[in-house]
Amino acid sequence: MTLPPDPGPDTAPMIRLEGVRKSFGPKHVLRGVDLAIPRGSSMVIIGGSGTGKSVALKCILGLITPDAGRIEVDGQETGTARGAERDAFLARFGMLFQGGALFDSLPVWQNVAFRLLRGALKRPQAEAREIAIKKLRRVGLSPDVADLFPAELSGGMQKRVGLARAIAAEPEIIFFDEPTTGLDPIMAGVINELIREIVVEMGATAMTITHDMTSVRAIADDVAMLHDGVIQWTGPVAKMDESGDPYLDQFIHGRAEGPIEAVR
């Protein structure tokens, strides 16, 4: 009898969630989320507004403490690390927040280069600025925005500055919370390509939340749909259209009628 090939450390998922639960008071947002994201792949999370997609990302980063369940990053359980260990953990991540979350007391370039101006990755100011401007270019922003303050930018520009900040230190794991919302279709295309590049060229592991089905098809290796606090469906993006899952079908075709009730 032959044994199945040993999966080895490289095929172990980069991120694994097991039975993750989170409630806010009486509101049960996550009710046992199980999900695995392979190393160097791009996972896209879809799901209705308010189903807890952002909460799930924040649980992985430890910004929100789950009520129950287990989260592993690279085989290590998260949430137990303190001090320098937690710093090292966070240094592997980049995160684009849904609302941008730019520091409004700092000019754009210092937002982008935040990690490069202090702490373990500190570099000379001129070099940090150069990197910031390069990253701004990658998200389609010209160097003259570098010295503006976030409040002086449009919503879509702020989003892209947030994106530049998330990728500035070239992290291994990147979370994008709705990277293309508020962007024009061309710029959305540019950002989709950028995310794809980051995964393919830099070998990063990406987790993207989006409502934009064009984005899903452009970015995803795998897709997971969050509904009612659990992963309703997950699989490779190619199988998404013939999943046979009525919830997923309704979602990807944007139908008002179906098993997911829209409150009216």
Partner 1 sequence: MSALAPLGRLGRAVLVALAHVGRVTLFALSALGHMVRPPFYPREIGHALMNVGWLSLPVVGLTAIFTGGALALQIYAGGARFNAEAVVPQIVAIGMVRELGPVLVGLMIAARVTSSIAAEIATMKVTEQIDALVTLSTHPMKYLAAPRVLAALITVPLLVGVGDVIGIAGGYAVAVQNLGFNPAAYLKNTVDFLEPLDLISSLVKGAAFGLIAAVMGCYFGMNSGRGAQGVGRATKGSVEAAAVLILAANFILTGVFFSV
Instruction: Please list the residues that pair with 210 across neighbouring strands.
Output: none
Site for partner 1 in 117-136 (CB under 8 A): 118-120
Closest distance to partner 1 from the beta carbon of 58 (Å):
7
Stretch 54-93: interaction string toward partner 1, x if CB under 8 A: ----x--xxx-----------------------x--xx-x
Site for partner 1 contains 143 (CB under 8 A): no
Name the closest residue to ligand ATP (Cβ). Answer: 54
* Share in percent of the chain as helix, strand, coil (round to 5): 40, 25, 35
Residue 224, phi then psi, degrees to nearest 5: -130, 135
Of the two residues 61 and 213, which places its CB atom closer to partner 1 in the complex?
Answer: 61
Site for ligand ATP contains 52 (CB under 6 A): yes
Stretch 55-84: interaction string toward ligand ATP, x if CB under 6 A: x-----------------------------
Q: Which residues 6+ apart lie within 8 Å of 161 measured at CB?
A: 100, 102, 108, 111, 112, 136, 139, 141, 145, 150, 153
| Residue for token pair 């930018």 | 153
Site for partner 1 contains 109 (CB under 8 A): no
Q: How far apart, in whole angstroms, are the C-alpha atoms of residue 102 and residue 96?
A: 10
Site for Mg ion contains 208 (CB under 5 A): no
Q: How far apart, in whole angstroms, are the C-alpha atoms of residue 203 and residue 137?
A: 21
| Listed ranges 58-66, 92-100, 102-110, 114-122: which one lies at the site for Mg ion (CB under 5 A) | 92-100
Of the two residues 95 and 131, which places its CB atom closer to ligand ATP in the complex?
Answer: 95
Of the two residues 177 and 222, which places its CB atom closer to ligand ATP in the complex?
Answer: 177
Enumerate binding residues for partner 1 (CB under 8 A).
58, 61-63, 87, 90-91, 93-95, 97-99, 101-104, 114-115, 118-120, 165
User: Which parts of this chain interact with Mg ion (CB under 5 A)?
Assistant: 54, 98
Query: Where on the chain is the footprint of ligand ATP (CB under 6 A)?
Result: 24, 29, 47, 49-55, 98
